Amino acid sequence: MHPLLRSAGALLVDLDGTLLDSTAAAARAWGAFARRHGLDPAAVAHAAHGRPSRETVARLAPPGADLAAETAMVDEAGVDDTGGVVALPGAAQLLAAPPAPLAIVTSGSTALATARMHAAGLPVPDVLVSADDVRHGKPDPEPFVLAARPLGLDPARAVVIEDAPAGVAAGRAAGATVLAVRTTHDDAELVGAAAIADHIAALLAR
């Protein structure tokens, strides 16, 4: 096990791209949004990763679009379509026997996170902070600060596990130590992480 995991006061773990692979399902949900507005589906899916859907919609939707309705359509598409969602290596092991109190911190909604975890066969922990719970999503530190509270811990004593640049930035801004997995981004995009591994299984095996 990586020494930082062994010494962590708590683990604050991202979901999509870290614990599970939802790439195809997310691409389908965001692809529908992109086609409605004449945008490039691949570029939209990439821009959306690691951020709340409402923020991505607000940034990419054309002037005059109903942002609430567009966000709801993207979120509902994700909840309804979990085809191909699978657990990533080490996810089930970490959730079954975490070395420290654990919370999931996701940029998706609670409904989306729950649907995808069930589809991947992963248990939902007692503490799950989603986009429904925060005013400011990653890269703002609010999601990680909020997740540390029910664990009774200062975020500075926590270890964050992330796959996206926005999540790495959020974890560092919260004062936590960040471990990154290169499941969705190159090492050069994960600047600020204390260490980078291929996946959670590699972190658990060290």
Active site residues: 14, 16
Amino acid letter, 70: E
> Reduced to 3 states, what is the DSSP secondary structure of residue 198?
coil
Could you give the count of Cα atoms lying within 13 Å of 123 in the half-sphere of its Cβ?
Answer: 12
> Reduced to 3 states, what is the DSSP secondary structure of residue 182?
coil
| Burial letters 43-77, b for 16+ CB under 10 A, else e | ebbebbbbbbbbbbbeebbeeeeeeeebbebbbeb
Contact status, residue 116 vs residue 22, Cβ threshold 8 Å: yes
